Each structure stands twice: as C-alpha cells, then as structure tokens.
Amino acid sequence: MFAASFEYHRAASIKEALGMLAQFGDDARLLSGGHSLIPILKMRLAQPAHLVDITRIGELGQVAETGGRVAIGAAVRHYQVESNPIVRGKIGLLAECAAHIGDVQVRNRGTIGGSLAHSDPAADFPAAVLALEGELKLEGAAGARTVKASDFFVDLMTTAIKPGEILTQVSFAPLPAGAGYAYFKHPQPASGFAIVGVAAWLTLDAKGAAQNVHVGVTGLGAKAFRASAVEKALTGKAPDAKSIADAASHAAEGIDALADIHAGSDFRAELARVYTRRALENAAARAKR
Amino acid sequence: MKLAGEQILPASRERVWALFNDPNRLSRLIPGCEKLDVISPTEYAGTLNVGIAAIKGVYTGKLKLEEVRPTEHYRMIVDGKGKQGFMRGSGTLDLAERDRNHTAVVFAGDIQIGGPLVQVGQRMIDSAAKMMLGQFFAAAEAELKAEAVGKVARQGFFLNFWRYLRTVIKSRLARKS
C-alpha cells in the first residue's frame, strides 16, 4: 500500500520543530531516517496528517566529544555511528551494534534517535545504549532534560519522551581502557531485526576476574533490558566457559518473552541464553587486564 | 490469545459493579473510547481510537453481556473491527470481596485478533493488550478514589497513560530496592 496523504514540513532548527509539534499536536509525527515510520505509514497503521522532517537540523547530525563524553546527535545515521572514528575508538560497542542493523540501505538512512524513540522491541540500538548506560537529552517547549537509558525504555514501544518533546542527543562515557565488548544477535532472515540481540562489555581486574559486567538484551521482551542477574553472576569471577555459561543461564529471568511465528517464547528465552553466552565469551576474550 | 488476571480496586463490590455497568463512566475508563452507546441493558456499541505510539486506529464494535449476576459476575462478548484489523472474543469478569473497601476483579478471556496489525505486529499484541488493561485499571482506580471523596476524576488518554506508567515505574523501583 502507499501512505495516506500527509503534509511534509522541514524544520530548520530544534525550536522550529518544537513549534510545529505544538501547532499540529497529535496529528504530527517527527520524521528522521524514516525506516521505522515510513513502513508504518505505508501499511496504514498510522496516518499522521503532518510529518516534521528534522534531518536537516545541523546540530542533530553531529558526533562530538564534549566534556569527556561522546555525544551523538539524534539524526546521525547508523552508518555514521558504525564508521565514526570517535565512536569506534571510545564506545566501540555502539559501532559494532550499528554494523548489524538491517542492511546497507537501512544503515544509510536510519538514525539512532529515530531507532531509540521508536523503541521497537527488536531494535538493536537499545541493547547497546543500555549496556553503555547512555544518557538521552530530551528537548521540549519548557526546556531540556536528561534521562538515563535505564529510565528511558518504559514499555512496549513506549519511552520517556513526553508529547511535544524531541530526543536530540544521546551521550556516553567512554569505555574504560582494556574493556572488551561484543554484540551478537539472531537476525530475522528477511528484515534483519533481532529476534534476540545481546550487547555486552566488561573489564578484567589485575587478577583476571570480570568486573564492570554490562549486558543489554533486546528482542526478548516488550522492551530492551539490562540482564542484571547475568551481570551479578559473572562479576568477580574469572570468565571461563563454565562461569560464563552459568551467568548466561539467567539471561531470560523475570522477562515475559514475546512470541510470533519466527520464535515462540521458550525458543526466544533459549536464544537469549545462548547469545548472552556468546557475547560474554567474545567480550572476555577481547578484554585486556 | 488468552488474557487472564486479577486486579485489586479500592472500593466495595457494589461500587465497582456500579462503575462497570454505567456506560457514561465506563467509557471514560476504556483507553481511547470515544463513544459508548447503550442499545439495550445488555448490549453496548462503541468506538475506540486507540493504539501505541505511532500506531493508532479507530475501531467500532459491539459488546454483549451475558450471565449477569449483579455485583458478582458477567460474561462479555466483544466484536470489533477497524481499518487495521478486527478483534473478536469473549471473557468473564468476577468480582470478589477482599475486604469492605477492596474488591478483586478477576478476568479471563479468549480473543481472536487479525488483520494487517497482527500480520506485522503479532509479537507485540500480548504486550499491547497488557498495557491497555493496565491503563483501564489505573483509570478505574482513579475514578473510584475520586468518587469516594465526592469528586469526578479527570480522565483522558494521556492522563491514564501516565497513571499506568507511574505504576510500572513504581513497581520497577520497588524491585530495584
């Protein structure tokens, strides 16, 4: 199908975009990369009367290092996250995650802000953003506020963004020296969406025990989550095959697994455990004392 | 899809029953409900404009009540459709007294959902249904609390959304600590 009629508006600044959102209210949707929104429009699952394009706003397309943190604008494309030297050098887990999104065409258009704001349960970025403890900047008419990644993903396709607010930036502290990281996913063969995706990073202390274990899981439940039971189980232990397998066995604990024709809930839970194990094994192998 | 659960509402069985059988008050609790007309004492017709995030749609349908035992139990049969899909199903609602001011609402149902929405969003239907039930009960609780002090609760799509989100956030915080 093709989309129902809409009016296209191009915002030249964040202020202008906020003004348009205020003016059109519930009838407007923000357009960033469009690779979550346009398919929804084409299937007529949503019929907004107005689209506000924010990809021409210069500051939303920047990657910069400011105040010791890596700040990525919301309209930065996936391929930029994948290839940018600052991202690869300081928060390499995010670049590795970006490299697994969809396909080349999707990565050329899709944006990190759009992916996070849409919060599809099978999106890849939420797992890495949670594991890296990113902070998200939301701007509204009343000003800007910062939300931690752990508070940002609230429920199924529901984030902490309030009506009339725009996600403008996500920022991260650089990974500590010697950290090892990995992103592993089980892709849906046609769309490339993560049936389950696991982003993990850890450091090794002087004795070779795992510390700072961070594991973000997507695709399993209604929203991406930190597998804290896995993290606790591995912290302070030498990461060998057995300790990792034991820790990974907790990956699906407490989560209501989704089910569809590609994977039932039991299979999804098992995939979560397997891919958590793989991600941790690779992260541990890449970590340096 | 099977739907079952239990929620405690802060009111006596009589007040909860009265709330659930008053179409004017009930329509303000149902997420996205724009209209709820009474066709007969056991049949309603309604319009819902509802969805999650970008995916919203208008659905029209009928609700029939059977096996009505006042303040205790009824069975609902629902039949609705919209551009994005259709929904058909039936379920039972039982009210059990927990104490003078608390009633347990026990619901159990079986629903068939189809159409474009399910074709692309099958994996999300369960979670979406849970969210909407959560919003409904958050609204019901607010309404009963307000009624107890002689007020009428402000209802509205986003307000109940945020009420429901507050309960989600509260339970997550409780789990963390």
Q: Please check whether residues A78 and A131 belong to one and the same domain.
A: yes
Which of A9-13, A163-167, B128-132, B135-139 has the least mean pLDDT?
B128-132
Tokens of A73: 């604008």
* Contact status, residue A180 vs residue A260, Cβ threshold 8 Å: no
Nearest Cβ partner for A157 among B53, B116, B168? B53
**pLDDT of amino acid B157:** 66
**pLDDT of amino acid A275:** 98
Tokens of B29: 């609790």
Q: Please check whether residues A205 and A146 belong to one and the same domain.
A: no
> Which of residues A172, A206, A223 is at a domain's end?
A172
Interface probe with A: pick from B59, B123, B166, B175, most Cβ of A within 10 Å: B123
∠ CA(A222), CA(A229), CA(A201), 5° rounding?
Answer: 85
Q: Please check whether residues A196 and A281 belong to one and the same domain.
A: yes
Q: Is B127 on the interface with A (CB under 8 A)?
A: yes
Which of A8-12, A35-39, A241-245 has the least mean pLDDT?
A35-39
B121: which chain A residues are within 8 Å (Cβ-Cβ)? 45
The strand order across the sheet containing A28-31 reads: A7-10, A50-53, A28-31
Q: Please check whether residues A194 and A156 belong to one and the same domain.
A: no
Chain A residue with Cα closest to B118:
A260
B120: which chain A residues are within 8 Å (Cβ-Cβ)? 43, 45
Q: Please check whether residues A82 and A36 belong to one and the same domain.
A: no
CATH code of the domain made up of B2-176? 3.30.530.20
Contact (CB<8Å) B127/A155: yes
Q: Which residue range is the domain that position A108 belongs to? A: 58-172
The count of domains in chain A is 3
- The span from the CA of A58 to the CA of B126, in Å, is 40
Nearest Cβ partner for B54 among A46, A222, A262? A46
pLDDT 10s digits, A123-145? 999 999 999 999 999 999 999 99
Tokens of B177: 């600590």
Specify the CATH number for the domain of residue A24.
3.30.43.10
Mean pLDDT computed over every residue of chain A: 95
Q: Is B126 on the interface with A (CB under 8 A)?
A: yes
Interface probe with B: pick from A156, A161, A255, A260, most Cβ of B within 10 Å: A156
Contact (CB<8Å) B83/A44: yes
The pLDDT-based confidence of B176 (bands split at 50, 70, 90) is: low
Chain B residue with Cα closest to A265:
B123
For range A248-259, the mean pLDDT: 93
Q: Which of A60, A134, A67 is nearest to A97 (CA)?
A: A134
Q: What is the ipTM of this complex?
A: 0.72
**pLDDT of amino acid B175:** 66
Q: Please check whether residues A165 and A66 belong to one and the same domain.
A: yes
The pLDDT-based confidence of A78 (bands split at 50, 70, 90) is: very high
| Bridge partner list, A184 | A198
Helix runs in chain A, H state only: 14-24, 37-42, 78-83, 85-90, 92-99, 104-109, 112-118, 125-131, 149-152, 228-234, 241-248, 265-286
Q: Is B35 on the interface with A (CB under 8 A)?
A: no
Q: Please check whether residues A133 and A188 belong to one and the same domain.
A: no
- Residues 160-199 on A with a CB inside 8 Å of B are 163
Q: Please check whether residues A85 and A137 belong to one and the same domain.
A: yes
Domain-wise residue ranges, chain B = 2-176
Which of A141-150, A250-259, B18-27 has the least mean pLDDT?
B18-27
**pLDDT of amino acid B3:** 84
Q: Please check whether residues A221 and A143 belong to one and the same domain.
A: no
Q: Check pLDDT > 60 for residue B177.
A: no
CA A26, A27, A33, A36 dihedral sign is positive
Name the residue with tokens 């891919």. A275
Q: Please check whether residues A93 and A163 belong to one and the same domain.
A: yes
Give percent above pLDDT 70 in chain B. Answer: 95
Tell whether A2 is covered by a domain. Answer: no
Tell whether A208 is covered by a domain. Answer: yes
A258: which chain B residues are within 8 Å (Cβ-Cβ)? 123-124, 126-127
- The span from the CA of A180 to the CA of A102, in Å, is 24
How many other C-beta atoms are found inside a 10 Å radius of the C-beta of residue A240?
Answer: 11
> Which of residues A137, A172, A207 is at a domain's end?
A172
B57: which chain A residues are within 8 Å (Cβ-Cβ)? 45
The pLDDT-based confidence of A87 (bands split at 50, 70, 90) is: very high
